[in-house]
Amino acid sequence: MMHESPIAADIWFHLGPVPISTAVVTTWAIICLLVLISWLGMRRPQVHPSRLQMMLEIVVEAIATQIEQVVGRNSQPYLPLLATLFLYLVFANLSAVVPGAKPPTGHVETPAALAAIVFLSVHYFGVRTQGLRSYLAHYTRPNLLLLPLNVLSEVTRTFSLMVRLFGNMMSHEFMLAIVAFLAGLLLPIPFLLLGVLIGLIQAYIFTILATVFVGAAVTGREN
């Protein structure tokens, strides 16, 4: 008897010939929620902010400060990408505690897409800051013979970024499912609280690594 792969995507519906998975639907819901929160908090910015506006300003300022500490320069060019990435990951990872929802990051296609975005963004910022010739030249340092290894390292670090996020979130899902099956519905509550902590930590780790990669690209540092 054939069993479905545990990492196979759950198909919610089909949009013509295109299958739409639960992870995609959850991602759409998260995007809509983030847009709604941003619109409600910032549609009428005030000198004396509302609680929601104040919360949003604190979060954005904290992310901007962290970026500046890592990159060592003004965070504004990188803030839209990295802040959006962090906020999406927080909501995506924490969706694991919502009954009936499955975190998109627990399915390999979402971490793969996020890692690909980071990969392309790193090179975009590197070329924009250093220029194409200067940026490409860093792959030949300290010796031209190391060019293949430097290129390979770009691919492997992106792959590890994807695997780290996917592995941690998928293992947490499996752990919750096993505990719920064996012990009922009450015992998993501490594991749900642990899941909140894991989700926040994984969102931070993914984003800070992306920031480190961007920082290395724009400053020419070795990472």
Confirm if 31 and 91 have CB atoms less than 8 A apart.
no
pLDDT tens digits, 139-161: 887 778 788 888 888 889 989 99
Domain map (residue ranges) of the chain = 76-94+111-219
Can you tell me the distance from the alpha carbon of 131 to that of 129, in angstroms, rounded to the nearest whole number?
A: 6
Can you tell me the distance from the alpha carbon of 125 to that of 209, in angstroms, rounded to the nearest whole number?
A: 15
**Mean pLDDT value of segment 82-88:** 94
pTM for the model stands at 0.84
